[in-house]
Amino acid sequence: MKDWTFIVILSIVAMATPLAPILIGRLIGPRKGNELKNATYECGVETRGDTWVQFKVQYYIFALVFLVFDVEVVFLYPWAVAYNRLPLFGVLAGVVFVITLAEALIYTIRKDALRWI
């Protein structure tokens, strides 16, 4: 628990550190907003329509492949920690796991799903 005390305290300090200058900036900086100044910046062109434009499915696919890889790599961390203790068989089991991961990658690349369009 001692380890985590430090992290909790550090997280509080780390949140306060950037918060303070922003609040100071809000306090001592001028606050003279007007309609033009607060307008959405689009290089001088007046904004029109919703901000929430239609996004491509491609964004979803990147995040999806990332999620799957993330979860699988997380499985590999305990395996890596135990690596020195494992027999050859155990290491090969991990290798089979990695190969399954590689299959997922090969599938997505072959189906051209990871191409930015």
* 17-46: contacts with other proteins (CB under 8 A): 17-19, 21-22, 24-26, 28-33, 35, 37-43
Minimum CB separation of residue 93 from other proteins in Å reads 4
CA neighbor of 76 nearest in space, from 102, 37, 113, 52: 102
Contact map string, positions 45 to 74, toward other proteins, x by CB under 8 A: --x--xxxxxxxxxxxxxxxxxxxxxxxxx
Minimum CB separation of residue 20 from other proteins in Å reads 9
Minimum CB separation of residue 27 from other proteins in Å reads 10
Minimum CB separation of residue 70 from other proteins in Å reads 5
* 87-106: contacts with other proteins (CB under 8 A): 88-105
CA neighbor of 65 nearest in space, from 26, 102, 35, 30: 102
